[in-house]
Structure 1
Amino acid sequence: MQEEIDSSYIHKYDALRNLVFEILHYTLKMQPSINTEKQQTNASYRTAILFLELLERQFPIEDVRQRLSFRSPSDFAHQLSIHVNHLNRAVKETTEKTTSEIIAERVLQEAKILLKHTEWNVSEIAFALGFTEVTHFNNFFKKHTNINPMTFRKGE
């Protein structure tokens, strides 16, 4: 991995991300599998899983022109063809977090990745993450981390 980071390969961060995923999957294979027949699932659990899968399919953001398709609980509910109240109830019951909290956590995680591992400016990152105004992104980031995006990027 160090050899890759020291290289001049333009897509080295993508290659590094793939290496990390390979390590993660290798370690997950080492764990004993859980017998899925013994797990009880209900409609709320299945709805929450569909929501989480739909959320994760939007990531990683690899191009400045890419933009999140779904940002709000109602966007996800519409895509899943269910009422937003049903989605919110199912997610809260299953994860003990609100739908909005989960979306915000994942958007924040991706924002941190983009700030640390790309040369994109803050407005490009904000646009890719579905914010219509850079100010909204700055406020969102500061609310969740207590620092602004540029301070985070500099590592202060």
Structure 2
Amino acid sequence: MKKPESIEDFYINRAINSQPLVFNLLRYDDCLRMDPQPYRRRDFYKVSFMRGRTLLHYGDQSLEVNGDALAIFSPDVPYTVDMPDGPAIRQYFIFKGAYLAEYFRRNIRELPLFAPGAHPVYELDATQATAIAQLFERMAQEFKSDYAYKDDLIRNCIIDILHYAMRMEPVAKRHLQTDASVRITGVFNELLDRQFPIENLSQQFELKSPADFAAQLGVHVNSLNRALRTTTGKSTSGLIAERLVTEATILLKHSEWNVAEIGFSLGFEDPAHFSHFIKKHTGQAPSGFRSVGVPA
């Protein structure tokens, strides 16, 4: 049986160079041909050229767009895109900040596009949509070429698109039909999901408390707790604990890391605290989940 292509392999196999994912240009149809994939955190910027009706949930906001638009996503803010009337993304490209680092005097995160509270969607009229389509087509041509300096040409197109957006006014209208509690819950779940799976010891669970999540969402911790209780019947700390127990159990059963390493990767600096946490929520010590031959 053919091994399913991972999201990392999908991007790297289609990348324009051999470096770990720094840039890629794709069409929506490419994603439709992929096998279902486990969720992975996004550590790249994404620019989508959209059409039709789109509902965009970005941070703690929801925006509705009809027609041609650019959506520019930062790796710092969670987002989801709903397309209620069918596929609404023509093309998109992704890149890591390092890909453009030498082209900006400052960190790319300091651009107004990625400032805290910035709206990510820019509606396009017919003339603007044509201009953006031409830039995407130019990137696509270079993407397929053997020209030694094609990265420079592609970077120029990316910079043109970013500057094009910065000259425009972003969409500021909210999609008021989305229930606030449901929206906040969805973004909370995505923030939680983004931290897993823990795949190496240099990766660590970072958002550990309700206050951490509330800060990322830009809401008061009490508002977050109310929203989650309304939609799930559970508290913020309870949902965090449930997910930690699930991930801890997986690592204890299937990884070769010792208990202290697993605890540290999940945010427990004291192994005794981790052991107490697991026993409190499962009724048994971490060693009880270890497979035969796996170090305790």
Q: Name the residue aligned to 2:288.
A: 151
1:9-55 residue CA offsets vs partner (Å, 9 max, x unmatched): xxxxxxxxxxxx8499xxxxxxxxxxx69xx7311110111101100
Partner residue in 1 for 2:178: 41
Partner Cα separation in structure 1 for residue 285 and residue 231 of structure 2: 32
Structure with greater Cα Rg:
2
1:126 is aligned, of 263, 267, 284, to 263
- Percent same amino acid among aligned pairs? 54
Q: 2:254 aligns with which of 112, 117, 129?
A: 117
Distance in 1 (CA, whole Å) between partners of 2:216 and 2:269 is 21
After superposition, give the CA deviation of every residue in 1:38-96 in whole Å (9 maximum; x if it has no partner). xx731111011110110010000000121111011000001111110000000110111
Name stretches of at least 5 consecutive residues in structure 1 with no aligned partner. Answer: 5-20, 25-35
2:202 aligns with one of 65, 80, 103: 65
Q: Which runs of 4+ in 1 moved over 2 A?
A: 21-24
Structure 1, residues 105-155: CA drift from partner, whole Å, max 9, x if none? 101000011011110000100000001211110000000111000112148
Cα distance change of structure 1 residues 91 and 152 upon mapping to structure 2, 3 Å threshold: same
1:1-156 pair list within 5 angstroms: 22=36, 41-154=178-291
Give the structure-2-normalised TM-score. 0.40
Aligned equivalents of 2:258, 2:36: Cα separation in 1: 29
Q: Alignment partner of 1:52: what SS? A: helix
Tell me the distance in 2 between the aligned counterparts of 1:128 and 1:152: 17
Q: 1:120 to 1:94 in 2, by over 3 A?
A: same
Q: CA RMSD in A?
A: 2.7
TM-score (ref. length: structure 1): 0.73
More helix by share: 1
Unaligned 5+ residue runs, structure 2? 4-34, 39-83, 86-176
1:54 aligned partner, one-letter code: L
Tell me, yes or no, if the aligned pair for 2:228 and 2:234 is still in contact at 8 Å.
yes
Separation (CA, whole Å) in 2 of partners of 1:140 and 1:50? 26
Question: How many residues are paired up?
Answer: 128
